[in-house]
Structure 1
Amino acid sequence: MAYRFATDRADRSDLASGAVLRSAPGHPGYPVRLAEELLGRVLSHLPRRPAGLWDPCCGSGHLATALGLLHRSELAHVLAGDADPDAVGIARRNLALLAPGGLAERERELLAAGAETGRESFAGRAAAARRLAALLEAGGGPLPAEARVDDAFRPAPPPRPVDAVITDVPYGGLARWHGAPDGAEPVPALLAAVAGVLPDHAVLALSARARKVPLPAGVAALERVRVGNRAAVLVRASALR
């Protein structure tokens, strides 16, 4: 039976990039409802939950952190990686929100910034951090999470078992690839590389701002999804061997 989250009417404004989760130029947030849609689809193809989640092209860590906050009960841990050390630095600060006291510390930080600047918007952001803390606690409390500098084309094995990969990649000239093999189509090469350090049952969901996400020759997709200007593909790790 398909596993889906009912998110159409859910208010996800607390997760807007730059409100509670940190952002930086060149590292935008990811559409939260699409992230949830992909997680629900991935979970429907897995034999068990909670699942270990990995975003190997994490940027600011927005996608991984948002899913950890919203769907704590479905996840065993979260791993984020990126070839850019600056991006990983932001991701670590965002994933720290999943740690014990992380959101309480962020709330205090936002309240202090509001007191210092006199800007009322910080009070609203602090209230959002408080709501997210309650949501995380209701889902089961703090979630183990880490971010690492890692080349997704030559990834180190995850330190904990990973069942689900969800990531968004540069595509169509919209961003610069780091470490893509010379002469290889980047997306199929990345999928094959990441699958190479995963168990057979794991499911990868990769999205890009493209008409269609390519797979290696002869590999069949579990599902294909298109939302707005993004396309996504779901594929079993064993199919990428």
Structure 2
Amino acid sequence: MAYRYATERRDHSDLACGNVLRSAPGHPGFPVRLADELFQRAAAHLPAAPLALWDPCCGSGHLAASVGTLHRDRLSWLLATDTDPAALSIAERNLALLTGRGLAERERVLRAEAAELRKPTLLDRADTAARLAGRLSERGGDLDHRVGAGDVFDPPEPERPVDLVLTDVPYGGLTSFTGAPPDGEPVPAMLRALAAVLPERAVLAVTARTRKVALPEGVRALERLRVGNRAAVLVRAGDARR
């Protein structure tokens, strides 16, 4: 089956980390434009039906929440997992913004803080939350999602079939993998482990702050690209198992 590559560009300022989506020290955000681009590229390798998305290194949930907001009309379900309880606590609040109730509560809190602290910038952020709620409603309403603990080197099979994995590899002094990969090479080990619990046709899109994302020996990429200081690779789950 042939898939057509089609990406669209849009304004991502409403999803900047720390605007409506929450941020915290040690839990960096992810470039929203790159998340948007990677989702569109990966989706081009899959049938057009609504897709189930999984971020297995979700951290604060910024990447997953951004893609869920931008592509609500193309998603059926979203799963976000991590091994860090502190990160998952933030991710739960960010993924709650994929519901009308969550966005309404975020808007209410921001308006109350603006009145208490007399900060007009908080009113701007509250207006952004209201704007995001309107877009969510237009694109299908609340997105079904789950946030939970999960180890990328020994992942449980997702409760529903996943079509697309999109994740940013832990790096540097800000974030790191928990536990040791089976063969000493974290990214290839992660790809093989995740591929083992995915349908063969699923696509994994992985980014890292490196010149080139390593693949398991003998595995060919569907695509590679570089944006700024990040490299990305797309690979078919069935290929990553071999």
Corresponding position of 1:37? 37
CA distance in 2, matches of 1:166, 1:92: 18
SS where residue 121 of structure 1 aligns? helix
Aligned-residue offset at 1:174: 6.2
Which piece of structure 1 moves more, 158-167 or 96-105? 96-105
SS where residue 233 of structure 1 aligns? strand
Q: Do the aligned residues in 2 keep the contact of 1:78 with 1:146 (CA within 8 Å)?
A: yes
Corresponding position of 1:128? 128
What amino acid does structure 2 have at the position aligned with 1:3? Y
CA distance in 1, matches of 2:183, 2:173: 16
Aligned-residue sequence identity (percent) comes to 59
Q: Which runs of no fewer than 5 residues in structure 1 stay unpaired?
A: none
Q: Do the aligned residues in 1 keep the contact of 2:100 with 2:133 (CA within 8 Å)?
A: no
Aligned-residue offset at 1:52: 0.1
C-alpha RMSD of matched pairs (Å): 1.3
**Structure 1 runs (4+) greater than 6 angstroms displaced:** none
Corresponding position of 2:181? 181
Aligned-residue offset at 1:109: 0.9
Corresponding position of 1:108? 108
Query: Over residues 68-90 of structure 1, what are the superposed CA-to-partner deviations in whole Å (9 max), with x where a residue is unaligned?
Result: 11110111111000110110110
Corresponding position of 1:26? 26
Q: Which runs of no fewer than 5 residues in structure 2 stay unpaired?
A: none
State whether structure 2 residue 148 is matched by structure 1 residue 155: no
CA distance in 1, matches of 2:125, 2:98: 17
Distance 1:181 1:76, change over 3 A: same
CA distance in 1, matches of 2:137, 2:166: 23
Query: Over residues 116-159 of structure 1, what are the superposed CA-to-partner deviations in whole Å (9 max), with x where a residue is unaligned?
Result: 11111110000110111111111111100111011111111112
Aligned-residue offset at 1:100: 3.8
SS where residue 154 of structure 2 aligns? coil
Which piece of structure 1 moves more, 97-106 or 28-37? 97-106
State whether structure 2 residue 8 is matched by structure 1 residue 6: yes
SS where residue 146 of structure 2 aligns? strand
What amino acid does structure 1 have at the position aligned with 2:124? G
What amino acid does structure 1 have at the position aligned with 2:6? R
Q: Do the aligned residues in 1 keep the contact of 2:26 with 2:175 (CA within 8 Å)?
A: no
Q: Do the aligned residues in 1 keep the contact of 2:182 with 2:189 (CA within 8 Å)?
A: no
CA distance in 1, matches of 2:6, 2:73: 14
Aligned-residue offset at 1:2: 2.3
CA distance in 1, matches of 2:175, 2:5: 32
Q: Do the aligned residues in 1 keep the contact of 2:57 with 2:170 (CA within 8 Å)?
A: no
Corresponding position of 1:85? 85
Which piece of structure 1 moves more, 59-68 or 165-174? 165-174
Distance 1:16 1:199, change over 3 A: same
Aligned-residue offset at 1:172: 6.2
What amino acid does structure 2 have at the position aligned with 1:32? V
CA distance in 1, matches of 2:70, 2:170: 25
Q: Do the aligned residues in 2 keep the contact of 1:202 with 1:237 (CA within 8 Å)?
A: yes
CA distance in 1, matches of 2:100, 2:121: 25
Corresponding position of 1:199? 199
Q: Do the aligned residues in 2 keep the contact of 1:52 with 1:162 (CA within 8 Å)?
A: yes
CA distance in 2, matches of 1:171, 1:217: 22
CA distance in 1, matches of 2:212, 2:78: 27
Aligned length: 239
CA distance in 1, matches of 2:13, 2:141: 21
Q: Do the aligned residues in 2 keep the contact of 1:2 with 1:41 (CA within 8 Å)?
A: no
